[in-house]
């Protein structure tokens, strides 16, 4: 008897085939929800009745109602790190393990952070558009070497951004509620308060989960603490940065530039930020490299097969169900 698996993630199985091969080798049937179409709670409830496992992305909400209807469901896996769209208490109540893939895409996200620093500092997107429009402007930028990098969230991604930044001889300050003093000493990182990091940074990189305590963490008050020539990059979650406050800071020239890979609403539609030349937007692609998607997918499918074959999977968010 084969097991039924549904993936509602827009990236699982579309870019790396190894996870699908693994499922096939272990007698599993799978369905990939079409890219570009959002699944509703009602459809999740209906489809969930026959599922043994569910692989989810970021936007679909795995609510208590969805979990209660999925009477055969044995595991929920997140094709990514954050699990803020999954009702963990409801899953725990039903003794359904929830597994995520923390750190699997950290190198990919860190690479993009550095790429955005350079793109903003050297105005690469604007330069590209100008040449393609038949112009040949003289565009002066700034160097990133020797500048101050501020990191909000020195977790797996933040640490790799810091490690890369040392190659540019950047001075690194970090803010985090949990401090890894040994790592900080090794890479010359100094922990400061949030306000001090904001005030010191020439480049600010945000890498924190979306929690009640971090929602709207960077608003008008915080942006006013930053240097006039500073650049901001957010690769974590859109709701952490107040986009209206960011727009005001950019239009009032209180920041030199900003780049967002995540937005409060995705896609961002007619956000006024998109009309600014000193703003860079990317489509939540931080973790989208072949290597990262392959590893994230393999973490998901290995966990699914472990559960279906009676083993405890790794990186369980709610390990109390095994007590």
Q: Which residues are catalytic?
A: 237, 266, 284
Integer Cα distance of 75 and 86 in angstroms: 12
Q: Is 40 exposed, middle or buried (0-12, 13-18, 19+ CB in 10 A)?
A: exposed
Q: Measuring CA to CA, which residue among 180, 174, 130 is closest to residue 148? A: 174
Q: Residue 165's Cα: distance from chain center in Å?
A: 19
Integer Cα distance of 253 and 66 in angstroms: 46
For residue 234, the surrounding DSSP H or E stretch is strand 231-234
Cis peptide bond N-terminal to 267, omega within 30: yes
State the Cα angle at 278 between 273 and 283, rounded to 5°. 55
Integer Cα distance of 146 and 141 in angstroms: 15
Integer Cα distance of 278 and 258 in angstroms: 7
Q: Residue 287's Cα: distance from chain center in Å?
A: 7
Integer Cα distance of 75 and 54 in angstroms: 7
In terms of DSSP H, where are the helices of 94-145? 106-121, 124-132
For residue 156, the surrounding DSSP H or E stretch is helix 156-165
In terms of DSSP H, where are the helices of the chain? 18-25, 41-48, 64-69, 88-93, 106-121, 124-132, 156-165, 181-187, 194-200, 220-223, 243-251, 290-308
Q: Residue 3's Cα: distance from chain center in Å?
A: 30
Instruction: Give bridge partners of residue 190 from the DSSP assignment.
Output: 173
User: Which two structure tokens, joined as six digits, stand for 230?
Assistant: 């500073």
Handedness of CA 274, 164, 291, 241 (dihedral sign): negative
């Amino acid at each position: 008897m084969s097991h039924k698996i549904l993936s509602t993630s827009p990236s699982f199985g579309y870019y790396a085939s190894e996870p699908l091969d693994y499922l096939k080798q272990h007698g599993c049937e799978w369905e990939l929800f079409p890219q570009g179409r959002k699944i509703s709670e009602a459809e999740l409830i209906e489809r969930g009745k026959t599922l043994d496992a569910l692989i989810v992305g970021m936007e679909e909400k795995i609510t208590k109602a969805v979990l209660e209807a999925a009477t055969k469901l044995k595991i929920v896996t997140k094709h990514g790190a954050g699990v803020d769209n999954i009702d963990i208490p409801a899953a725990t109540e039903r003794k359904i393990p929830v597994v995520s893939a923390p750190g699997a895409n950290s190198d990919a996200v860190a690479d993009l952070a550095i790429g955005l620093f350079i793109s903003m500092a050297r105005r690469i997107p604007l330069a590209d558009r100008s040449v393609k429009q038949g112009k040949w402007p003289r565009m002066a930028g700034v160097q990133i070497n020797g500048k101050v990098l501020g990191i909000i969230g020195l977790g797996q991604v933040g640490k790799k951004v810091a490690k890369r930044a040392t190659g540019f001889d950047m001075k690194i300050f970090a803010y985090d509620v949990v401090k890894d003093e040994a790592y900080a000493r090794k890479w010359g990182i100094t922990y400061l308060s949030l306000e001090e990091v904001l005030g010191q940074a020439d480049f600010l990189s945000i890498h924190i989960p979306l929690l009640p305590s971090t929602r709207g963490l960077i608003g008008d008050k915080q942006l006013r603490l930053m240097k006039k020539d500073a650049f901001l990059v957010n690769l974590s979650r859109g709701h952490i940065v107040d986009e209206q406050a960011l727009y005001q800071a950019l239009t009032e020239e209180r920041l030199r530039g900003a780049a967002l890979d995540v937005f409060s609403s995705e896609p961002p539609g007619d956000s006024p930020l998109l009309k600014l030349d000193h703003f860079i937007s990317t489509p939540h692609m931080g973790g989208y490299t072949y290597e990262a998607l392959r590893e994230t997918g393999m973490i998901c499918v290995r966990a699914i097969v472990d559960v279906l074959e009676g083993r405890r999977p790794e990186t369980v968010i709610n390990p109390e169900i095994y007590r």
